[in-house]
Homo-oligomer: A and B are copies of this chain.
């Protein structure tokens, strides 16, 4: 039997607004695609629509930047109110340069500008420029909530990933990565599995959730908000519980500690 992985961008997804029932929108998208959920299917959702459905919008007009934000804003040539929001979303600042603040996010991963998104965000009122979008409060929980609804409706055992695009230290271009995980083996540990000639592979852990995030990102990346959900079928690994935490290298093990 052919080993195939099939990714389908759900067609006709509407712009998502705060309070929208995202699982229902996903179910409608699956119906439009002619897809019935099956055991082992993975649903990949971009963080932006999850954040929007959860109302994670902040009006910069409501933000009073503190002294640290004002200082960093000068250094990075950014809006001090935006920097204040970035600081509130961050555990520590790792690096800055004009236009860029690299942080360890309060969720534990390292990313640019704490994932605070200024593009194509429209608030309930006021100038569009004043609104920014935060990452979901707890993406694993968001993923679990979507999964629970989709499993209840379908009767299938599923996984849900919430993804964002992150830059890399030494390589150009962003790639999709998982920031929320439910029912998915985020990290596949092949340590000790013998290779073809019987040697032991001593350290082989695969960031499977990030590989699936990158794969789905090929389809979500092009239209800004047009294809925020991707259905994945054919994963050659059994589903099991997993979490974003599995993917985070402990700070004392990073390459620059």
Contact = CB atoms under 8 A, between A and B. Distances in A.
Contact of A196 (B2, B113, B190, B205): B113
A62 interface: no
A63 interface: no
B170 A254 contact: yes
Interface in A67-120: 94-95, 97-100, 102, 109-113, 118-120
A67 to B, nearest CB: 24
B3 A190 contact: no
A236 interface: yes
B206 A222 contact: yes
Query: How many copies of the shown chain assemble into the complex?
Result: 2
Given A5-B219, A206-B165, A174 B201 contact: no
A173 to B, nearest CB: 3
A198 interface: yes
Contacts of A169: 110, 168-169, 249, 254-256
A187 B206 contact: no
Contacts of A177: 171
13 contacts: A3-B11, A5-B218, A7-B7, A94-B255, A99-B200, A109-B170, A118-B194, A166-B197, A168-B207, A171-B248, A176-B211, A215-B218, A218-B236
Given A2-B33, A98-B199, A102-B255, 12 more contacts: A95-B255, A98-B200, A99-B200, A118-B194, A168-B169, A168-B249, A171-B248, A171-B249, A172-B248, A176-B211, A195-B223, A211-B215
Interface of A: 2-9, 11, 15, 33-34, 94-95, 97-100, 102, 109-113, 118-122, 128, 165-177, 186-188, 190, 192-208, 210-212, 214-215, 217-219, 221-225, 227, 235-237, 246-249, 254-256
